[in-house]
A = this chain, B = another copy of it.
Amino acid sequence: MNTFPEKDFYLLLIIAKKSELNNSIKASTSELALDLNISQQSVSRKLSFLAEKELIERKVLASGNIISLTEKGKNFLLKRKNELDKIFSSKKNNKLSGKVKSGLGEGKYYINLPGYQNQFKKKLGNRVFPGTLNIKINEFELNDFLSEKKKISIKGFSDKQRSFGPAFVFKVKLNGRIDAAVIIPERTNHPENILELISSFNLRKKLKLKDNALVFVS
């Protein structure tokens, strides 16, 4: 029995990620075991299972496995994606709420660099206040929220000493009325549950926000 690999879904997902859906990957069972937090032996068994069900294609070499998803495997994931999309589509997140947090104040420095400010002026209509308002949000809702917004690109640049990376900004309203923008570094390495807002206003002052104040962006 066991027609559908619900239990092995996550292994399939990891293979999809690593292979970028369409390529082959080389991976040993112990490597994958680390990703899944299970034993090498179990991965071996699971890969056999997925191959037997024709969800993956697999060549076993002395040095590891060459693995790729089959059409059937991709469809299995796509079907799951469609189910989830359908469930969440009705509840489009056009609002994101969270609490105001204090950042490290680094944003301030970067935001105020002329290389960025000039672009803000051109693309957002105004220079922005040197500082960001940090809001702690549910990171899982961020994707859906931003997917509805227009992505505006901010280019990176260099000065004599160092270079500054590109970023994306998205125009939003804070608490339904104040013009602001979400800014996300293109090569992000900071926590995704913190949303950084910029604005021509000093948002914290303008809205008299203290730490942990509940706000929403839309």
A residues lining the B interface (CB < 8 Å): 6-7, 9-10, 13, 16-17, 20-22, 75, 77-85, 87-88, 90-91, 138, 140-141, 143-144
**Do residues B77 and A87 form an inter-chain contact, with CB atoms below 8 A?**
yes
**Do residues A83 and B13 form an inter-chain contact, with CB atoms below 8 A?**
yes
Q: Identify which of B21, B78, B138 contacts A90 (C-beta below 8 A).
A: B21
**Do residues A84 and B87 form an inter-chain contact, with CB atoms below 8 A?**
no
A90: chain B residues within 8 A (beta carbon):
20-21
Q: Identify which of B88, B140, B141 contacts A21 (C-beta below 8 A).
A: B88
* Most B C-beta atoms less than 10 A away, residue of A13, A20, A80, A84: A84
A164 to B40, CA, bound (A): 59
**18 sampled A-B residue pairs with Cβ under 8 A:** A6-B10, A7-B7, A13-B83, A13-B87, A17-B87, A21-B87, A21-B88, A21-B91, A22-B91, A75-B138, A77-B84, A78-B88, A78-B144, A81-B85, A82-B140, A82-B143, A85-B85, A85-B143
In the complex, given contacts A77-B87, A82-B140, what are 19 additional A-B residue pairs having Cβ atoms less than 8 angstroms apart?
Answer: A6-B9, A7-B7, A13-B87, A20-B87, A21-B87, A21-B90, A21-B91, A22-B91, A75-B140, A77-B88, A78-B141, A78-B144, A80-B80, A80-B84, A81-B81, A81-B85, A81-B88, A84-B84, A85-B143
A91: chain B residues within 8 A (beta carbon):
21-22
